[in-house]
Amino acid sequence: MEELKCIIIHDNNDAHLLTTRYIEKVRIFSLVGCFYSLGDALQFIYHNNVDLIFLDAEIYTAFEIGILDLFNNITNIILVSANNENSLSDYIYEELNIFSKFYSFKTFLSAINRTVKENLQNECNNNDRLAPSQSLIIKMQGSLVRINLDEIDYIQSYGNYVKLFINNGKMLLCQITTNEIEKKVIDSQFLRVHKSYIVSLSKVEKISGGRLYINSNEIPIGRTFKRDLISYFMKREGGIN
């Protein structure tokens, strides 16, 4: 399977050192960031792809389940507690792995084996990293806003910003570049069709004369992107009208 990019979020230096040492022993893991504060980690996640988070259990407990929404749909999370392993029975998490900062490598392997197994199963069940019903965290006017991917018709470049055109007719100006947002949505039925446009493939109504149409909006197709677009619809049973 592909290399899994992971980060550590913890306020304890011992937890960082031990987790880093164990991660380096696992070939399929790549440690791409270490953070002592949630804010710094969220900024990194906002601009980069992350597959797995080793998260301070106390941070998770403080925010409860709402913290998962901040992680931009990253479902692979392993909690690292500042408590001793003997006290972990007090925690009951049906979906998340948890171990203490004093954990053994055997405990570490047990947790990641479950995570890797689930990751592989998800790849078999769904070729898309993000399901259309899931969401994207976008920075707008200094705030982080969650937008459902299936609400987006298309995305237009606007300098260091992008315009998101939503299926309710609204346009949202977001503080992210076209290349950055492309990395976040490209595996979820979105395709770049022009240097300035990314479209939701499920919303395309017609392709004609070097243009495509979404809700009567005309979008140009770049010469270098046309082949991938046509290939996608040729492979679809029945194509488009």
Q: What is the CATH number of domain 4-125?
A: 3.40.50.2300
**What are the tens digits of pLDDT across the range 190-206?**
999 999 999 999 899 98
Domain ranges of the chain: 4-125, 135-235
Nearest-angstrom CA–CA distance, 38 and 9 = 7
Nearest-angstrom CA–CA distance, 16 and 27 = 19
Who wins on pLDDT, 238 or 40?
40
Can you give the pTM of this predicted structure? 0.47
User: Is domain 135-235 classified as CATH 2.40.50.1020?
Assistant: yes
User: How many helices, marked H, and strands, marked E, lie in the chain?
Assistant: 7, 15
Residue 239: its pLDDT value, please?
A: 52
With a cut of 90, say whether residue 123 has pLDDT above it. Answer: no
SS3 content of the chain, % helix, strand, coil (to 5): 35, 30, 30
Who wins on pLDDT, 156 or 52?
156
Residue 70: its pLDDT value, please?
A: 65
Nearest-angstrom CA–CA distance, 73 and 9 = 16
Who wins on pLDDT, 68 or 208?
208
Residue 213: its pLDDT value, please?
A: 94
With a cut of 90, say whether residue 7 has pLDDT above it. Answer: yes
Mean predicted confidence (pLDDT) in 114-141: 57
**What are the tens digits of pLDDT across the range 146-192?**
788 889 999 999 998 999 999 877 899 998 899 989 988 876 689 99
Q: What is the largest CA-CA distance in the chain?
A: 68
Who wins on pLDDT, 213 or 89?
213
- 206-208 and 211-214 as β-strands: parallel, antiparallel, unpaired? antiparallel
Q: What mean pLDDT is reported for the chain?
A: 76
With a cut of 90, say whether residue 45 has pLDDT above it. Answer: no
Q: Write the DSSP assignment of 134-179 as a string of letters.
A: SEEEEEETTEEEEEEGGGEEEEEEETTEEEEEETTS-EEEESS-HH
